[in-house]
């Protein structure tokens, strides 16, 4: 699931990654690709029905623009706790909390966090962040492949 606002340059990187993954012939056909937009509790059924979930989002990780960090399971909760930089980080934390309260949080979760350079108005990501798209797609394929092998 890619999340973000494509009207705010790098903030929409999650959406750009999922669009690239859909367009690619390299993605695995055994998972669903979702444009989560700016995210909301309306996505709760998607989370609750999933055995595993990968979220791609712009996130302040304190690294150069376009850098990627992957957080898994409880690491996601730590990354999303504390000072929020975007509205969808708050919504994502709420989404996982709601699923957990209902006892339906996916067994495996991953957050592919990409450091933004700019979240000013603009329809395209900055060059540094756009260059992260193929690496994020590869990370998704690696994670899903590993999960498939472990099942």
* CATH number of the domain where residue 132 is located: 3.40.50.1450
130 token code pair: 């756009």
The pLDDT of residue 2 is 95
Domain count, the chain: 1
Does any domain span residue 71? Answer: yes
pLDDT digits (tens, 9 = 90+) for 90-116: 688 888 989 999 999 999 999 999 999
34 token code pair: 């979702």
Which residue range is the domain that position 122 belongs to? 2-9+35-150
Opening angle at CA 5, ends 76 and 52, nearest 5: 35
57 token code pair: 């989002």
pLDDT digits (tens, 9 = 90+) for 36-79: 988 778 899 999 999 999 999 999 999 999 999 999 999 998 88
Phi first, then psi, for residue 113 (nearest 5°) are -100, 130
Residue that is written with structure tokens 């989002």 in the block: 57
The pLDDT of residue 24 is 86
- Please, which residues bridge with residue 108 across strands? 52
131 token code pair: 């260059």
Q: What is the pTM of this model?
A: 0.92
Mean pLDDT, rounded, of the chain: 90
């Amino acid at each position: 699931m890619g999340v973000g606002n494509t009207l705010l340059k790098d903030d929409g990187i999650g959406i750009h990654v999922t669009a690239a993954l859909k367009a690619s012939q390299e993605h695995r056909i055994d998972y669903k690709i979702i444009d989560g937009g700016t995210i909301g509790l309306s996505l709760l059924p998607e989370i609750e029905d999933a055995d595993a979930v990968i979220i791609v989002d712009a996130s302040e990780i304190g690294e150069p623009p376009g850098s990627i960090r992957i957080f898994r399971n409880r690491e996601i909760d730590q990354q999303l706790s504390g000072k929020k930089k975007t509205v969808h980080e708050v919504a994502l934390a709420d989404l996982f909390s709601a699923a957990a309260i209902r006892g339906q949080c996916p067994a495996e979760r991953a957050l592919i966090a990409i450091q933004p350079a700019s979240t000013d108005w603009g329809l395209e990501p900055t060059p540094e962040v756009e260059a992260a798209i193929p690496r994020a797609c590869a990370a998704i394929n690696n994670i899903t492949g590993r999960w498939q092998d472990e099942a």
